[in-house]
Structure 1
Amino acid sequence: MQVVNLLHSGFTDYREVDAMQRRLHADTLNGGPDSLIVAQFSPTWTAGRHTKPEDIRDQSLPVIAVDRAGSVTWHGPGQVVIYPVVRLKQPVDLIAWIRSVEYGVIETVREEWGLPAHRIEGRAGVWLTEEGRPDRKICAIGLKVAQGSTLHGIALNVSIDRAHAFGGIIPCGLADAQVASLNWEGITSTVSAAAGALIPRLFHSIRPQLATPDQELETRTTA
């Protein structure tokens, strides 16, 4: 599996990465390699299939309609995004795929940074919960499977700026929840370091769902 690392390019336009993932998706359907795309986006809103007009209160950032599940979210500085573009084993078990992605993130947040991350039944993503506080999503997960190959992925908040992230939307359309970031939880990490911790664990967790599970990671850095 190739790791297409775009982090050294700085902030990447969402549309460029979206076009890349669709090219790689087409390649996988023709027997090409599985891939993990790793990026940090320029600020933007992405609106999933379940977005309601009232979920976006501020349109000062570009609003990009996307074909993943879920509502609107923010992408931008301090957030690492990973898109697995992989062929799944047949018959495709969509729930097992979602759980495998969630598990990779949960294990990373717990083992690498010591936070009690977990999933919440009926709510996508990876969460932190604490009595007396609203649930806090530290990693958004929005996935799609088309013709047995996957699109979209995860967005882990690492070192985001409270003043400029999420304020203009109802994140994921959940008015009763909040977002979290590693730096807001007292943890200092760069996006690159967080990606380095997450990639191998995510690869290990999704490997049983792959059509060709006997693979190794091969990094291709894009300048």
Structure 2
Amino acid sequence: MDVINLLGSGLVGYEEVDDLQRRLHADVLRGGPDRLVVSQMTPTITAGRHTRPEDLPDAPLPVIHVDRAGSATWHGPGQLVVYPVVRLREPVDLVAWIRSVEAGVISTVRDEWGLDAHRIEGRAGVWLTDEGRRDRKICAIGLKVARGATLHGLALNVDIDPDSAFSGIIPCGLTDADVACLSWEGVSTTVSAAADALLPRLVESILPQLASADDGLVNRSPQ
């Protein structure tokens, strides 16, 4: 699977990554290879299809309305964003696709950094929970499937600034939950190192959902 790693370019604009994923999506539909787009974005607020006005009470940045699932979220420094742009096997199972992306993140957070990450029934993304504390989301997942190929992806909080990240919005529209971050949990790592840890596990996790697996065309290790 091809990996387009933009981390070496520093912070990139959301619009640049969005334009790239749409060009790759069109290429996948024409028979091009599956790809992962890896980036760290300039500070950006995006609003998914389920965003309500009250989810953006005092947004400090312009809000970009996007066609993924979910509500409002923030992207910016210290956050790893990965967009799988892949063709799914038929018939497309959207729930299985979401679960496969979640599973890749969960296994990485558990095995690489020793945190008890898991799913919460009825809530998308990857979570940390402790008795006596509010649930906290460490990785947001917002996906779309169009004509059998995928768009958007995941955002893993690695080392974000608690004073600026997610300010002025209700992350994912959840008033009863908080945001988590690897660094806030005592994990010292970089966005690049987090990408190195995550990508092989993510590829392995999503592999059974890919049409190219049926075709015998998948390289299991990202290059």
Band of TM-score, shorter chain: over 0.9
Q: TM-score, normalization: structure 1?
A: 0.97
Alpha carbons 2:2, 2:222 under 8 Å: kept: yes
What residue in structure 1 maps to residue 2 of structure 2?
A: 2
Alignment partners' CA distance in 2, 1:218 and 1:207:
12
- Following TM superposition, the consecutive aligned residue runs of length 4 or more in structure 1 with deviations greater than 3 angstroms are none
Q: Does 1:160 align with 2:160?
A: yes
Q: Show structure 1 runs of 5+ residues with no match.
A: none
Partner SS, residue 11 of structure 1: coil
- Within a 5 Å distance, the mapping from 1:1-223 to structure 2 comes to 1-213=1-213, 214=216, 215-216=218-219, 217-219=221-223
Cα offset for 1:102?
A: 0.5
Q: How many residues of Structure 1 are paired with residues of Structure 2 in the alignment?
A: 219
Structure 2 counterpart of 1:80, which letter? L
Report the aligned-residue RMSD: 0.8
Alignment partners' CA distance in 2, 1:142 and 1:63:
16
Structure 2 counterpart of 1:145, which letter? V
Alignment partners' CA distance in 1, 2:36 and 2:62:
25
Alpha carbons 2:59, 2:167 under 8 Å: kept: no
Structure 2 counterpart of 1:192, which letter? S
Q: Show structure 2 runs of 5+ residues with no match.
A: none
Q: Deviations over 1:121-158 (max 9, x none)?
A: 10000000011110000000001000000000000000
Structure 2 counterpart of 1:135, which letter? D
Alignment partners' CA distance in 1, 2:131 and 2:102:
23
Alpha carbons 2:136, 2:178 under 8 Å: kept: yes
Task: Point out which structure has higher relative CO (alpha carbons under 8 A, 6+ apart).
Answer: 1
Structure 2 counterpart of 1:22, which letter? R
Alignment partners' CA distance in 2, 1:34 and 1:64:
26
Cα offset for 1:61?
A: 1.0
